[in-house]
Amino acid sequence: MNGPAQAFVELDRLSKQFGPEQAVREVSLCVAQGEFVTLLGPSGCGKTTTLRCIAGLERPDAGEIRIDGQIVVSAQRGLCLDPEDRNIGMVFQSYAVWPHMTVFDNVAYGLRVRRVGHAGIRDLTMKALELVGLDHLAERYATKLSGGQRQRVALARAIVYKPKVILFDEPLSNLDAKLREQMRVELARLQHEVGITSIYVTHDQAEALVMSDRVVVMNEGRIQQIADPHTIYTRPVNAFVAKFIGVANLMDGIVLGRSGKSWELEIALGAKDRTPLRLRADGDDGFAPGCPAVLCVRPEDIRLHTARPDDAAGHNIIEAEVIDTVYLGTFLECHVRVGPYEMCVQTDHLKPLAPGEKVFLTFQPDHGLCLAG
């Protein structure tokens, strides 16, 4: 299991296959009560199928799911509770707001199904609408709402009956960029205020980093890494995570050995007349001389120089050729070529750099990472 000792939602070796396609492969995960965990990855990585298994919308082929200590799925025992018996709320990408109902009736629907009394329905519905800032629109029909307002209705409807868990299936993907940014902050604030355990699915790395207590990066049906957003960005466990989260410069190399606290790598530059680079970078144990590895360094951790810097400063030095530069206000984004590799550098060097100009890149060994491929 991966996660806190006091798990509220537990996935134990969950697997799901669709015909010949293995969508989810032995996924194990623990989510603490009140935690906001995001499943992040490219299309087809298994994140939505995992969420649908938790919701009861898909039946897994293997594994178990527990919510608040109760087994809701056990493939071995042939147990699979219906969605309505799991006490979960769900917010969909499509909102699923009924246009023929008022805002109030949309939110109150789940309470009426659960046969809550009239007074209770009124009280709980208005409290949920107040939480999402829509209490003043209770009598408005859903057709008269903006996209952001409809999304708030869907959220209020999910929390109104106080479920144990809320599942989010890419709920912001239909909003425009500016509103999506605003809703990220509001949704994260609301989740922490209400304190409901939340599992969120997205392919948008910015959403995952801004909103989550922990991020679960998935690829090809498997979990690649589980960590807090800062660790996911600064200490990815492999080249896939590094490339998927943010912008990463990756170069294939061979491990030569340890150099103090860093690994020393040899990076071939393709052409026979190009001397391979020898660069140092941090990395976990597990590498051995002669084994392949990937050097990762973020654009913001590289310094750009128009003249060769002093070799004695202890940093890595790479000679490069400018491809182009993009002015982004507070910094330049400079694309350079190093042998077969194109690298991205963020620099405050605002002097124009001409295509083909020779430059030098430097970075400290502890700003680079030696990763598995």
Residues 281, 206: one domain?
no
Residues 302, 216: one domain?
no
Specify the CATH number for the domain of residue 316. 2.40.50.140
Is the model's pLDDT at 182 over the cut of 70?
A: yes
Task: Report if residue 12 sits inside a domain.
Answer: yes
Residues 150, 291: one domain?
no
Domain closes at, from 242, 262, 296: 242
Pair 306, 359: CB distance under 8 Å: yes
The Cα–Cα gap between 112 and 306 comes to: 70
Is the model's pLDDT at 27 over the cut of 70?
A: yes
Specify the CATH number for the domain of residue 144. 3.40.50.300
Task: Report if residue 2 sits inside a domain.
Answer: no
Distances from the Cα of 108 to the Cα of 159, 167, 324, angstroms: 11, 19, 56
The Cα–Cα gap between 36 and 208 comes to: 10
Pair 73, 53: CB distance under 8 Å: yes
Q: Domain tally for the chain?
A: 2
Residues 306, 233: one domain?
no
Q: In the prediction, which pLDDT does 270 show? A: 81
Please count the CA atoms within 13 angstroms of the CA of 173 that sit on its side-chain side: 15
Residues 58, 148: one domain?
yes
The Cα–Cα gap between 151 and 166 comes to: 14
Task: Report if residue 1 sits inside a domain.
Answer: no
Is the model's pLDDT at 1 over the cut of 60?
A: no
Is the model's pLDDT at 5 over the cut of 60?
A: no
Residues 56-76: what's their mean pLDDT? 96
Query: What is the three-state SS of the chain?
Result: CCCCCCEEEEEEEEEEEECCEEEEEEEEEEEECCCEEEEECCCCCCHHHHHHHHHCCCCCCEEEEEECCEEEEECCCCEECCHHHCCEEEECCCCCCCCCCEHHHHHHHHHHHCCCCHHHHHHHHHHHHHHCCCHHHCCCEHHHCCHHHHHHHHHHHHHCCCCCEEEEECCCCCCCHHHHHHHHHHHHHHHHHHCCEEEEEECCHHHHHHHCCEEEEEECCEEEEEECHHHHHHCCCEHHHHHHCCCCEEEEEEEEEEECCEEEEEECCCCCCCCCEEEEEECCCCCCCCCEEEEEECHHHCEEECCCCCHHHCCEEEEEEEEEEEECCCCEEEEEEECCEEEEEEECCCCCCCCCCEEEEEECHHHEEEEEC
pLDDT tens figures, 91-149? 987 777 888 899 999 999 888 888 888 888 999 999 999 988 899 999 999 888 888 88
Is the model's pLDDT at 3 over the cut of 70?
A: no
Residues 216, 287: one domain?
no
pLDDT tens figures, 183-212? 888 888 888 888 899 999 999 998 999 999
Task: Report if residue 125 sits inside a domain.
Answer: yes
The Cα–Cα gap between 191 and 156 comes to: 11
Q: What rounded mean pLDDT belongs to the chain?
A: 91
Q: What is the largest CA-CA distance in the chain?
A: 82
Percentage of the chain beyond pLDDT 70 is 97
Residues 176-187: what's their mean pLDDT? 84
pLDDT tens figures, 161-172? 889 999 999 988
Residues 222, 296: one domain?
no
Domain closes at, from 207, 224, 242: 242
Task: Report if residue 150 sits inside a domain.
Answer: yes
Q: In the prediction, which pLDDT does 361 show? A: 96
Residues 181, 309: one domain?
no
Task: Report if residue 322 sits inside a domain.
Answer: yes
Residues 313, 231: one domain?
no
Pair 53, 24: CB distance under 8 Å: yes
Pair 30, 3: CB distance under 8 Å: yes
Q: Which residues pair with 87 in a beta bridge?
A: none
Q: In the prediction, which pLDDT does 4 show? A: 53
Which position has the token pair 């699915």?
201
Q: In the prediction, which pLDDT does 148 show? A: 84
Residues 195, 268: one domain?
no
Residues 60, 97: one domain?
yes
Q: In the prediction, which pLDDT does 350 show? A: 66
Residues 195, 327: one domain?
no
Q: In the prediction, which pLDDT does 190 show? A: 85
Which position has the token pair 């902050």?
185
Domain that holds residue 349: 247-371
Q: Count CB-CB contacts under 10 A for residue 25.
A: 17
Percentage of the chain beyond pLDDT 90 is 67
Task: Report if residue 153 sits inside a domain.
Answer: yes
Exposed/middle/buried for 347, CB within 10 Å: 0-12, 13-18, 19+? Answer: buried
Q: In the prediction, which pLDDT does 11 show? A: 98
pLDDT tens figures, 315-353? 999 999 999 998 888 888 999 999 999 999 998 866 778
Q: Which residue has the higher pLDDT, 311 or 162?
A: 162
Contacts of 255 (CB under 8 A, 6+ apart): 263, 264, 265, 287, 288, 289, 290, 291, 292, 293, 370
Is the model's pLDDT at 275 over the cut of 50?
A: yes
| Closest to 217 in 3D by CA, of 12, 348, 27 | 27
pLDDT tens figures, 236-274? 999 999 999 999 999 999 999 987 789 999 999 987 768
pTM for the model? 0.89
Domain closes at, from 242, 257, 275: 242
Task: Report if residue 139 sits inside a domain.
Answer: yes
